Amino acid sequence: MPETTVRAEKTEGAKEALVVATVTGFLNIVAILVERFGWPGFLLCGGMFFVVEYATLEQKHKLIELYLLGQGTPYVACAVSALFVLVLMAQHSLYKRKLRVLEQRIGVLEREKDRVVTQLLEANARLTILDAKKSVRR
Residues 6+ apart with CB under 8 A from 40: 87, 88, 90, 91
Whether 66 contacts 72, CB under 8 Å: yes
> Which pLDDT score, from 0 to 100, does residue 138 have?
63
Interval 79-128: pLDDT, tens = 878 888 888 888 888 889 999 999 999 999 999 999 999 999 888 888 77
Side-chain half-sphere CA neighbours of 85 within 13 A: 5
Mean pLDDT of 44-70: 87
No. of H helices and E strands in the chain?
3, 0
Q: Does the pLDDT at position 7 exceed 90?
A: no
Higher-confidence residue of 19 and 2: namely: 19
Show me where the domains of the chain are located: 1-54, 75-138
- What percentage of the chain reaches a pLDDT higher than 90? 29
